[in-house]
Amino acid sequence: MNKVDKSKKTVSPEGDAPTCDSSLVHLEQVRQVQSEIVTTEKAQQMAQFFGAMADPHRLKLLSALVKAELCVCDLAAVVKMSESAVSHQLRLLRNLRLVKHRREGRNVYYSLADAHIANLYREVAEHLDEV
């Protein structure tokens, strides 16, 4: 998770002819691919999403929530973190819509936002077993 595009490097201005700073082996292909790749905005959005899952503690929280809806103090106990730390992480997951929450009395219960998240989690877990 980082900023992005405080970059405007010195790369061939993609303007004309086979000019280039440090080559460009396949100019045509570069142009074509350049027009097809993901936009910076979308890439940032995706990076945020992947970033949310790029932390062992958050993955443990998610793997717990795959099993059951749990309140903060229980989650803290399950993953052995302080409640404050868990709360910070849950806020992040909440902001990115990976989890949702509801209040019941003094407790706040968290659960996965939707089935996609669980599926994605499982897919990667299985992918890594294959390799």
Q: How far apart are the first and last CA of the chain?
A: 25
Stretch 19-38: interaction string toward a second copy, x if CB under 8 A: -x-xxxxx--xx-xxx-xxx
The binding site for DNA (CB under 7 A) comprises 1-3, 7, 9, 22-23, 25, 51, 55, 57-58, 71-74, 81-92, 101, 103, 105-109
DSSP secondary structure, 15-51, as one string: -STT--SS--TTHHHHHHHHHHSPPHHHHHHHHHHHH
Stretch 96-125: interaction string toward a second copy, x if CB under 8 A: -x---------x--------x---x--xxx
Q: For residues 21 and 91, which CB has a smaller minimum distance to a second copy in the complex?
A: 21
User: Measuring CA to CA, how many Å separate 86 from each of 53, 60, 78?
Assistant: 14, 11, 11
Tokens 């992040």, residue? Answer: 92
Binding to a second copy, residues 48-87 (CB under 8 A): 48-51, 53-60, 63-64, 67-68, 70-71, 73-74, 76-83
